[in-house]
Amino acid sequence: MKNLSTKTDLSTLNDKQRAAVLSECNRLLVLAGAGSGKTKTLLHKINYLVDDKLVDAKNILAVTFTKNASNEMLDRLIVSADKTGYYEKFINTKGVSVAEKNKERQSFLKKFPWLDKLTVKTIHSLCYQIIKTDGVHVYDNKFKIVADHKSSNEFLGNTAEETVGEIIEKVTINLSSNKPFLLKLKRYILDYFVDFIHHYKEQEEFRPESKLFTTLKGDKVRSKSEQFIADWFYRNSIDYIYERQVRVEGKTFHPDFFIPQANVYLEHISNKSHPSFWKEGQMKIAGNTCIKTYDDATHNSAIFNKILDRVIKGKISDDLSSATVLHYDEEFSKFRKEIRKFFREVNEVRNKIVNSEKPIEQIINEASESDFERVRMFYELAIPIINEFSDYCTNKSYLDFDGLLTKSIQLLEEFPNIRERYQDRYKYILVDEFQDVNNLQVKLLDLLTKTSTQLFCVGDDWQSIYGFRGSEIGYIVNFKEHFEDSELLTLNLNYRSTDPIVCASTEAIKKNKFQIPKEIKAVKQGGQKIKIFYEEQEGQSNAFIWEAIETHIAEGINSEDILVLYRRTAMASDLIKALKNSGHKVQFRTIHSAKGLEAKVVFILGLHSNKGGFPDPWLQDKIYQVIKPTDYDDLLEEERRLFYVALTRAKDHLYLISKKGAVSDFIRDIPDEYIFFNQPENNNDSNKMVLCVNCESKLEDHYKFCPTCGNTVVEEVEIDADLTAKQKIEEIIRDLPFSAANDNKQKKEARIKYKRAYEPWAQEEDNILKSYFQSFSFEELSDLFGRTYNSIKSRIEHLKIK
């Protein structure tokens, strides 16, 4: 195979990459492990089709899932075509804006007509083109794109002025002109976003001493039943005062409700209430009317409504049906944050319904039969909003990203002639990051392909980390079941990471059950083992990371080639603040956003088993389980794939940050042979000994000169032979006095990280440096001496230690 003559230069490819490029299989999945050169393989496939198979470039479709990925693919194709080297230099020039790159990219595509004929698009951009060209059959082809954020999509020239969130709020306001809907929405917001009543144990009558329940009016009351009564007053426009103070014969008490319009008190009796006979007697003495309601009646809201209507009716002159007009803005003026969170949940449900294979009628029925009031209530509110959203977008000729897909699918399904035209055009379809596909995207690919179409998919099931966004790992793991007469080919060489990192990440991911087994090998043999830091006290991890970063930068590693990764942003907030003014441009990323990146040095934060640690397999809210049930084991496997992605971002140095006594299970999955351990030095020659500071020969107590090298014994340093070298040094440094006070802010801040910062060098320190310089790395010396890397380096140069 290596000697096969081709116009396309395949000499830089390994055997598996070359086999993928030359394959004639019509349904091929290239399993590309992390750092295995998948993009390189895909680009060579395109060049091979054009140069060797003489395929017309217009017949090739390359699909990606992000705009950055499609731009990178085009850039690398242009670089390979541009023999002058100018374009490669241009795109790698710092300070060049995105707009400038886009302009130059389009200019170069025009210079190479065959590249301009290729269709290299995100899947949404492809659908955009399909609907713009042929969508008039199923939609208004002069549509606009409505996005989640105004600046977050690739169709800025044709974007609606409104965002998805703004439209959801607008239709909700319209629905809120219906008073029952408005009050139900407010009740939901108060119960599940303000009071969090679903966090409390279910009791017949939860009546704490504090007032935890918010009424529609905005009062805080003690129980769910009292909240129900207060809400009944509010719905019927009856004013009330909660727990109004009453004084009778010098004593004070607080009946539950006072209705000024009727001059009536209402006392609600539950099994948690204090005995009420004393209150009743006092009310009679004062000549006040007091009505009682009982908790048993609250178990049936219809009955309780009738009771309230009966006991209050006739005592108020106003017509109970003449309700005050309520307004959305007024009702939610104090709950803007909470209502926006609700809107995000509605949008999440809307997206999941679109990508689900369940009919919406089935989802509605299952939600209505839920055992949980919160779930039932949510869907009673969400479904009308979702329907109104859809109608609003249709009226305005708006499409969101999912709408692009659904309308393209509808068009290709309903119009066979249009489907055949696209199938005839795209004879070769290449799909990048296939592990990220969802149901709609696979359905679209099915419609674009026919038996003779060559479908070339590249992906890695070990890097499938977007299940929360709807991606389905089953399509890549069960590729042969979904695509008949298909083949799998594995790119098993990792060109990015060192051997310990590759072996450790491979062993960790093997714990997953739902995967395609493969053996990945590192091209870069040797390399440093993985370092793990176990924090014992708050703040130690940040100090450790800071020192490690300083060390690597001093070694010549660019700060931009250092990457700090975390599962959730909160894990890194303190470290980001600490490094903000350091001047170092270290990259901070969530693991999800770091997909596709690499760095020489990588730190992974939060690998502990405490709350908020990693893994953190959040079981999805019961609201979403109605659409698609999720399983804890499946979520844990996705967390492990996320860990694998994090590990494989590292090229040379990898640090895992954990906590003592709460080590993440993911760290335990890594075999000890790939982890760096400080090995103790055993020395049992004698109880006490004195070493020569020059050649480390053992000296007797009375020696003034070393008999081995003749060096003058400046000062005897007594060392316990039962201690390790590191412990010996730590003891000596710890006993050294401080002569420089923390007399300014700069010294105080420096000594938080480096205990002997700004301290004059002691003779003992010089002696230790001369003796042990060769025994420890600069990073370890910095830690032992409590001084910065640069301080250690300067002192060594001053002492002229070779």
Tens-place pLDDT, residues 120-161: 999 999 999 999 999 999 999 899 999 888 766 677 678 888
Query: What sign results for the dihedral spanned by CA atoms 640, 641, 645, 648?
Result: positive
Q: Does residue 606 have a known ligand-binding role? A: no
Beta strand 587-590 with 531-535: parallel, antiparallel or unpaired?
unpaired
Query: What sign results for the dihedral spanned by CA atoms 523, 524, 529, 531?
Result: negative
pLDDT in tens, 162-186: 999 999 999 999 999 998 999 899 9
pLDDT in tens, 225-258: 888 888 888 878 888 989 888 877 777 778 888 8
Q: Does residue 172 have a known ligand-binding role? A: no
The predicted structure's pLDDT at residue 731: 80
The predicted structure's pLDDT at residue 45: 97
Nearest-angstrom CA–CA distance, 630 and 642: 17
Burial class (CB in 10 A: 0-12, 13-18, 19+), 702: exposed
The predicted structure's pLDDT at residue 332: 85
Nearest-angstrom CA–CA distance, 565 and 582: 18
Nearest-angstrom CA–CA distance, 717 and 121: 70
- Here the tokens at position 6 are 């081709």
The predicted structure's pLDDT at residue 288: 75
Q: Does residue 750 have a known ligand-binding role? A: no
E-assigned strand segments in 540-675: 562-566, 587-590, 599-604, 650-659
Nearest-angstrom CA–CA distance, 605 and 667: 12
The predicted structure's pLDDT at residue 594: 93
Query: What sign results for the dihedral spanned by CA atoms 681, 682, 687, 690?
Result: negative
DSSP letters along 223-257, please? SHHHHHHHHHHHHTT---EET--EEETTEEE--SE
Q: Which domains does the chain have, with CATH numbers?
A: 16-143+402-491 (3.40.50.300), 502-685 (3.40.50.300), 725-799 (no CATH)
- The ranges of the chain with pLDDT < 50 are 1, 198-208, 320-322, 679-689, 702, 714-722
pTM: 0.73
Q: Does residue 19 have a known ligand-binding role? A: no
Answer yes or no: are the C-beta atoms of 500 and 529 closer than 8 Å: yes
- Here the tokens at position 656 are 């895992």
Q: Does residue 740 have a known ligand-binding role? A: no
Q: Does residue 107 have a known ligand-binding role? A: no
165-168: long-range contacts at Cβ-Cβ below 8 A with a sequence spacing of 24 or more?
Answer: 165/340, 165/343, 165/344, 165/347, 167/389, 167/392, 167/393, 167/398, 168/343, 168/346, 168/347, 168/385, 168/389
Nearest-angstrom CA–CA distance, 739 and 299: 76
Question: Minimal CA–CA distance to 240: which of 253, 231, 249, 251?
Answer: 231
Q: Does residue 34 have a known ligand-binding role? A: yes
Nearest-angstrom CA–CA distance, 608 and 658: 5
Provide the CA 299 distance to its chain's centre, in angstroms. Answer: 42
